[in-house]
Homo-oligomer: A and B are copies of this chain.
Amino acid sequence: MDSYNIKKYLNDYSQKIQPLLRTYLINKIKEAKKIGDIPVKFLESFSQMVVRGKNVRGALVVLGYQLAGGKDMASIYDASTFIEILHSGALIHDDVMDKDDIRRGLPTIHKQFENYGKGNGKSFAICAGDIAFYLAWDKLLNSNFSNDKLIKAGKIFVKYALNVVYGQALDLINNVGNNFNQQAILNVFRFKTAEYTGVLPLLIGAILGGIEDEKKLGILMEFGLDLGWAFQIRDDILGLYGNEEKIGKPVGSDLREGKKTLFIYYILKNGNDMQKKFVLSVLGNKNISGNEISKVQKLFKEIGAYNYVMQLGWDYVKKGKETIPLITANKKLQILLASLIKYIMERTR
């Protein structure tokens, strides 16, 4: 990686892993052919989906590895794809739960398979997600690192991936604790996203790169958490104010699904009765109109909810940046980390 510009870094990463993912999945398709047509069809759909990711998590594995001083770039690129495979599997299950039709600009897996067999697209999507989880393990366990490192990495994988599902379950029930407040929401974000998106990949990269010192891993974890929180906050902003083509799904999904985001928290705390009544009337409305979504967008800007959420995200960026000098003395890597965490809050997809 000769560039320390984050956009180029992410772009280079995507370029490197796309052929690796394709080759890997082509081999898996060959194996699945012995079993039957439908596993092959799953893997073909999955191949299309997995290469369309943002690849932030995979790039963080590589970055963690470089921060640890790792030099075997070919092996870490290959190993890092495990988390892109895992993430696509998690999205397949999420889309079933959230009844979403579009993901990464394509029909979701349960939509693609809704006319197969007994017409039970959701059952196929449950299988497809499970398949992706096993492929993620397959990728990691068969990668070119020592068994000792792989076991350590596997334990990190389990720990944080488990928390994601716990967080997902909380999200389903809109259970952000008995008190619906900022701290409770950020707590769900921690388990559902921040650890998984920021901490998991950085730590696994660092472990594969040879860091064993718990204190060093702890500092990296702190940075990863801040990055992950900013990531989820930016996700919520893009979900409401983003460009549909870029985010690959409809704007306003969170409203449609009745998610109690930071925006909702802010308006319930600071809005007047009419504003609260309006927002609650559209929250969870499966048939919410484009007009209503626009009205919500405007209201959130007028009342200060938008600025409040943006500020929270930028606070995490600031906090994360302060940790950087503790992570590495390498100036180029410091610049890369700073530009990465800033990018997380500026990204448009």
The dominant DSSP class at the A interface is helix
Residues in chain B near residue A172, CB distance under 8 A: 38, 117-118, 120, 123-124, 127
State A38–B170 Cα separation when bound (angstroms): 6
Whether A175 pairs with B137 at a CB distance below 8 angstroms is no
Whether A117 pairs with B191 at a CB distance below 8 angstroms is no
Whether B166 pairs with A131 at a CB distance below 8 angstroms is yes
State A159–B229 Cα separation when bound (angstroms): 35
Q: How many subunits of this chain does the assembly comprise?
A: 2
Known A39-B170, A147-B151, A151-B150: A165·B127 in contact at CB below 8 Å:
yes
Binds B, one of A29-37, A51-59, A310-318: A29-37
A binding-site residues for B, Cβ under 8 Å: 32, 35-39, 42, 93, 96-97, 116-118, 120, 122-124, 126-127, 129-131, 133-135, 137-138, 141-142, 147-148, 150-151, 154-155, 157-159, 161-163, 165-170, 172-175, 177, 188, 191, 258
Whether B162 pairs with A135 at a CB distance below 8 angstroms is yes
A123 closest partner in B (C-beta): B97
A149 closest partner in B (C-beta): B147
If A39-B169, A141-B158 are given as contacts, then 14 extra A-B residue pairs at C-beta distance below 8 Å, sorted by A number, are: A32-B166, A38-B172, A117-B175, A118-B258, A126-B129, A127-B168, A129-B130, A130-B133, A131-B166, A134-B158, A138-B158, A147-B148, A150-B151, A154-B154
